[in-house]
A and B are shown apart, each in its own frame.
Chain A
């Protein structure tokens, strides 16, 4: 037991350069801006988040805890929270006082998103989880205004704790596994006709436009339904197995060695990213896809991210912002 605890503490002591966390911070800042501006652009703020006397439609007795504490949503409080959230999101993107910005952004976002429980989206949870992890992480060590002020350059080789990035990966795994294990509809599970994706894409609620053409590629949707179901229910836990095998190195078990051999993480990403892109293209689900994909930034170790950058920009690596 003592060695297990010691191993856990050793894992938490690990450090790395901050590029992966910085990329994740920038992406989440942009997602927060997107999430706050979308209802504003559609003129939906007063209707969904203000009480009836201010143009809303719902009695908002069970508001978010922050709004309750302030005395309930009013135009001043709602638009105030929106502005504060936007300022915090910009601070995250440029990387200045990121932990404070993440905490303020989180509270502003929670205050707004939970006012009306009927207008919530899955991305609310994705964003609030990410913002709390950004409070815990030192995400502005590099690619940040903070680095520029501290060291005179935007990038830095300063080391940060690795464990916040591990928590981001774990959050991603829990998120997929949780939703996968709840997909017990006959249209999803093996033994049925794997028609879930076809019927989901016909549901008018989320469609960007007419998707009846999907009927022409129905067998393909069946294949993708099966892949997505297995990917969510089994693939996400196996991703943890991949990282565990990498941590164990030579001592990894048979399954672990196989996961390393087939580069399971790459398989996971090659299914996940296209899936979210297709959702973003075909369905109007707000910043859901972008929020999900932002988490993928944490899947790479900063050294891998640097190698990827060099691979993507081989001609002039001297211009790489990874050189910090």
Chain B
């Protein structure tokens, strides 16, 4: 039997450890597990309704609410276990970028939101200056449609991101105070509407949506102390 140099064994162990770390990092991370509020969104609720119906079909009696509660508990527990299992590999991931939390399009958002920004002049009506992806209302469109910013806007259309959304609204107020000297107030809100089915699109129909997560800010403080 030939004797191998020691470094070959060391290399073999190190590469195995790398593979183990990457595999552990690929364990599914239920991102929304910590945000119970997000589970009440109609998109998530529709998923639970469909899944409970399916489970009832195969003889497992449950309701959407029960399923939601059970899975929320399970997701919490799983997140804790995942955190513990991953802890030895975490420094490797953090310092050398070997994370693997790839969750690309895991589920369609059936009730997506679209940002609307409006301004008010003194004694005037609200005037729309920006609607996400609408070329007729394009204030800050270049920024909003940059892919990294799209990621943020997707998140801020969820109720559970209230803290970051407020900071984002304040930033919009600071920008509007400079760009629109005559405006007195800014209002941001999100138009939430169910995506039409293919049949509805072909028939020229669409669901009626509603504005959610609105916030109105006076621009005066942002002019006094920008």
Please report A residues at the B interface, Cβ cutoff 8 Å: 5, 8-9, 12-13, 38-39, 42-44, 47-48, 52, 56-59, 65, 106, 109-110, 116, 118-122, 125-126, 128-129, 131-132, 135, 163, 167, 170-171, 174-175, 177-179, 181-188, 191-192, 195-196, 198-200, 202-207, 212, 214-216, 218, 284-286, 288
Contact = CB atoms under 8 A, between A and B. Distances in A.
B110 A129 contact: no
Contacts of A186: 47, 50-51, 54
Contact of A206 (B16, B107, B150, B198): B150
A43 B142 CA distance: 8
A286 B95 contact: no
Interface in B100-131: 100-110, 112, 114
Interface of B: 4, 8-9, 11-12, 15-16, 18-19, 22-23, 26, 28, 47, 50-51, 54, 94-110, 112, 114, 132-133, 142-143, 145-156, 161, 164, 167-168, 170-171, 195-196, 198-199, 201-202
B108 A48 contact: no
A199 B146 contact: no
B152 A119 contact: yes
Contacts of A202: 108, 112, 195-196
A67 B12 CA distance: 34
A13 B194 CA distance: 56
A182 B28 contact: yes
Contacts of B155: 118
B100 A185 contact: no
10 contacts: A13-B8, A38-B146, A42-B142, A118-B161, A121-B147, A135-B96, A183-B107, A195-B108, A196-B105, A202-B196
Given A184-B106, A196-B105, 18 more contacts: A9-B4, A9-B12, A12-B11, A38-B147, A42-B142, A47-B143, A57-B167, A106-B96, A118-B151, A132-B98, A163-B15, A171-B22, A179-B106, A186-B50, A187-B107, A202-B108, A202-B196, A215-B198
Contact of B167 (A58, A163, A178, A214): A58
Contacts of B107: 183-185, 187-188, 196
Contacts of B156: 118
Contacts of A59: 167
A44 B104 contact: no
B97 A39 contact: no
Contacts of A125: 97, 99-102
A203 B147 contact: no
B98 A215 contact: no
Contact of A284 (B100, B147, B168): B147
Given A12-B11, A48-B152, A175 B102 contact: yes
B17 to A, nearest CB: 12
Given A57-B170, A178-B28, A198 B47 contact: no
Given A48-B148, A174-B26, A206-B150, A179 B104 contact: yes
A205 B112 contact: yes
A18 B193 CA distance: 52
Contacts of B195: 199, 202-203
Contacts of B104: 122, 179, 288
A216 to B, nearest CB: 7
Nearest to B22: A174
A52 B152 CA distance: 16
B171 A57 contact: yes
